[in-house]
């Protein structure tokens, strides 16, 4: 049985950040207990059907759920987890994390993703974050004290008041704190979020300015020893996110929780954004078939490793023909410096990552 990924969406937050469009609600103990019981029940449906070598708690804010409930969910999945499973939990540095980290570590959590976003307090305030720089320092110390040493930090690019100098300070902070992994995302204003109607005192960076910030982050992270392996992800040696690589490799995973998505046995399905419905036994909704060649190309080209002929051949019957078809469309894109291409591999450059959607559309 080939191990797959297991994702748990924790839909609870103390308050929603102004830019966030992920599904979350404010939860009390009764609601969070009922949610935890529902997750454990759903996990039970897959007993003896799957083996998982990654387990990821995302959100929302998993640290709001508390270490005791996270441990209950891990224990419910214990029999399906491999001995070397990567178990990641996201946390907000503003939360009371001492007991949370101890309980999580005791349950098997071995990787932490902290929502840093910026190491500059003025930028954090403008982002409506609950934490400050010192909170992150404290959280990292507590995590290591509990035994969790594989730590990823999130950075946000193109935020209000961010400058090249402040971005460099944030990148250097990640390195100084000994983070093993950094995720650097460009701010995107989504419809329906408070930021969509907000009047910013300082205009947000335009496309050219964001491109400069992104390329600066790529270069500075490389100088600090972080190798880029995906559009937005950088890691020290051996510290890639094994769970997220499943998404980009178009591998199978099961998502549990309101708004969680899955790709399993060639099908994509998801739970509605409805905490009460989930607790009451709502089933996942079938979306569509998944894993075809175009989808595979789209996902693999997010990776620096790119689209590889050998992997295409091993996955698709007419792999050689499919690879050559994509390769035949790379000429102008390669001349523009957006990708590199040869008979073995097609991969986007950092410049190409900035316009990846357009490049991929040209190729498929």
Question: Can you give the pTM of this predicted structure?
Answer: 0.96
Contact status, residue 347 vs residue 337, Cβ threshold 8 Å: no
Question: In CATH terms, are 4-247 and 293-364 the same topology?
Answer: no
H and E: helices and strands count for the chain: 16, 15
Extents of the domains making up the chain: 4-247, 293-364
Contact status, residue 86 vs residue 55, Cβ threshold 8 Å: yes
pLDDT tens for 161-208 read: 999 999 999 999 999 999 999 999 999 989 999 998 888 877 788 889
Fold of 293-364: Arc Repressor Mutant, subunit A (1.10.10)
DSSP-assigned beta bridge partners for residue 114:
91, 153
pLDDT tens for 289-337 read: 899 999 999 999 999 999 999 999 999 999 999 999 999 999 999 999 9
Confidence of residue 258 (pLDDT cuts 50, 70, 90): very high
- In angstroms, the CA 266 to CA 149 distance is 35
- In angstroms, the CA 286 to CA 264 distance is 11
The pLDDT value recorded for residue 359 is 96
Phi, psi of 86 (to 5 degrees): -85, 120
pLDDT tens for 94-136 read: 999 999 999 999 999 999 999 999 999 999 999 999 999 999 9
* DSSP secondary structure code for residue 21 in this structure: -
**Residue that is written with structure tokens 């078809």 in the block:** 325
Checking phi first, is residue 124 left (phi over 0); if not, alpha (psi -120 to 50) or beta? alpha
Q: Report the CATH superfamily, name and number, of domain 4-247.
A: Aldolase class I (3.20.20.70)
pLDDT tens for 74-98 read: 999 999 999 999 999 999 999 999 9
What sections of the chain are H helices per DSSP? Answer: 29-44, 62-65, 67-77, 98-107, 121-126, 133-146, 164-176, 207-223, 242-248, 275-279, 293-300, 309-315, 319-327, 331-335, 350-353, 356-363
């Amino acid at each position: 049985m080939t191990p797959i990924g297991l994702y748990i969406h924790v839909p609870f937050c103390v308050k929603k950040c102004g830019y966030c469009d992920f599904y979350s609600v404010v939860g009390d103990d009764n609601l969070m207990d009922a949610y935890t019981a529902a997750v454990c029940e759903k996990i039970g449906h897959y007993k003896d059907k799957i083996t998982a070598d990654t387990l990821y708690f995302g959100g929302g804010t998993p640290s709001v759920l508390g270490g005791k409930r996270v441990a209950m969910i891990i224990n419910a999945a214990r029999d399906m987890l491999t001995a070397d499973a990567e178990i990641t939990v996201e946390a907000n540095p503003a939360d009371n994390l001492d007991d949370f980290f101890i309980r999580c570590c005791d349950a098997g959590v071995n990787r932490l993703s902290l929502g840093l976003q910026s190491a500059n307090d003025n930028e954090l305030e403008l982002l409506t974050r609950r934490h400050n720089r010192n909170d992150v320092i404290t959280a990292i110390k507590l995590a290591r004290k509990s035994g969790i040493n594989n730590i990823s930090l999130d950075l946000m690019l193109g935020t209000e008041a961010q400058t090249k100098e402040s971005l460099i300070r944030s990148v250097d902070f990640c390195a100084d704190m000994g983070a093993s992994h950094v995720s650097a995302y460009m701010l995107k204003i989504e419809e329906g979020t408070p930021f969509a109607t907000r009047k910013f005192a300082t205009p947000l960076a335009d496309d050219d300015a964001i491109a400069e910030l992104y390329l600066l982050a790529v270069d500075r992270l490389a100088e600090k020893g972080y190798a880029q392996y995906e559009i937005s992800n950088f890691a020290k040696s051996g510290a890639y996110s094994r769970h997220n690589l499943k998404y980009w490799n178009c591998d199978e995973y099961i998502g549990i929780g309101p708004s969680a998505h899955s790709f399993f046995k060639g099908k994509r399905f998801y739970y509605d954004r409805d905490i009460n419905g989930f607790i009451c036994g709502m089933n996942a909704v079938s979306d569509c078939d998944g894993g075809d060649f175009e989808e595979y190309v789209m996902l693999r080209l997010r990776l620096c490793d790119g689209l590889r002929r050998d992997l295409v051949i091993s996955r698709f019957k007419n792999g050689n023909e499919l690879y050559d078809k994509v390769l035949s469309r790379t000429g102008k894109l390669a001349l523009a410096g957006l990708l590199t291409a040869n008979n073995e591999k097609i991969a986007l450059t950092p410049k190409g990552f900035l316009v990846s959607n357009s490049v991929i559309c040209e190729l498929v």
